[in-house]
Chain A
Amino acid sequence: MWDRAAETQPRAEREALQLERLRAQVARAARVPFYRDLFTHRGIGPHSIRSLADIRRLPFTTKDDMRRQHPFGLLAVPRRELARIHGSSGTTGKPTFVGYTAQDLATWSDLCARFLVAGGLRPEHTAQVAFGYGLFTGGFGLHYGIEKVGAAVIPVAAGNTRRQIEIMRDLDPEVLICTPSYALTIADTAREMGMDPHALPIRFGHFGGEPWTEDMRREIEDQLDIQAFNNYGLSEVIGPGVSGECPARSGMHIQEDHFLVECLDPETLEPVPEGEPGELVITALTREAMPMIRYRTRDIARLDRSPCTCGRTTMRMSRIAGRTDDMLIIRGVNVFPSQIEEALLRVEGTTPHYLIEVSRPGTLDEVHVKVEIHPEIFSDRMDRMQALCDRIGREIHTVAGIRAHVDLVEPRSIERFVGKAKRVLDKRGLTDC
Chain B
Amino acid sequence: MKLQQLSLFLENRPGRLEAPLAAIAAEGINILTLSLADTAQFGILRLIVRDWEKAKRILEQAGWVVNLTEVVAVDVLDRPGGLAGALRILEDANLNVEYMYAFSLRRDDKAILIFRFEDPDRAIQVLLDQGLHVVDGDELMTFVS
Give the chain B neighbours of A385 by CB distance below 8 A. Answer: 39, 42, 44
Question: Is there contact, CB below 8 Å, between B67 and A380?
Answer: yes
Identify which of A381, A408, A412 contacts B42 (C-beta below 8 A).
A408
Question: A379 near B: Cβ within 8 Å?
Answer: yes
Size class of the A contact interface (CB-based, 8 Å): 10 to 19
Size class of the B contact interface (CB-based, 8 Å): 20 to 34
Question: A373 near B: Cβ within 8 Å?
Answer: yes
Give the chain A neighbours of B10 by CB distance below 8 A. Answer: 410
CB distance from A404 to the nearest CB of B (A): 13
CB distance from A390 to the nearest CB of B (A): 12
Give the chain A neighbours of B37 by CB distance below 8 A. Answer: 382
Question: Is there contact, CB below 8 Å, between B9 and A373?
Answer: yes
- Residues in A lying within 8 Å of B, measured CB to CB: 373-375, 378-383, 385-386, 407-413
Question: B116 near A: Cβ within 8 Å?
Answer: yes
Assess A380 versus B5: contact at CB under 8 Å? Given A374-B65, A410-B64, A411-B64: yes
Give the chain B neighbours of A374 by CB distance below 8 A. Answer: 65
Question: Is there contact, CB below 8 Å, between B44 and A408?
Answer: no
- Residues in B lying within 8 Å of A, measured CB to CB: 5, 7, 9-11, 16, 37, 39, 41-42, 44, 46, 63-67, 69, 98-99, 116
Q: How far is the CA of A375 from the CA of B39 in the complex (A)?
A: 19
Question: Is there contact, CB below 8 Å, between B99 and A382?
Answer: yes
CB distance from B57 to the nearest CB of A (A): 14
Q: How far is the CA of A379 from the CA of B99 in the complex (A)?
A: 13
Question: Is there contact, CB below 8 Å, between A410 and B116?
Answer: no
Give the chain B neighbours of A375 by CB distance below 8 A. Answer: 65-67
Question: Is there contact, CB below 8 Å, between A378 and B11?
Answer: no
Question: Is there contact, CB below 8 Å, between B67 and A413?
Answer: no
Question: Is there contact, CB below 8 Å, between A410 and B11?
Answer: yes
Give the chain A neighbours of B44 by CB distance below 8 A. Answer: 380-382, 385
Identify which of A373, A380, A382 contacts B69 (C-beta below 8 A).
A380
Give the chain A neighbours of B65 by CB distance below 8 A. Answer: 373-375, 378, 410-411
Q: How far is the CA of A411 from the CA of B61 in the complex (A)?
A: 12
Q: How far is the CA of A411 from the CA of B65 in the complex (A)?
A: 7
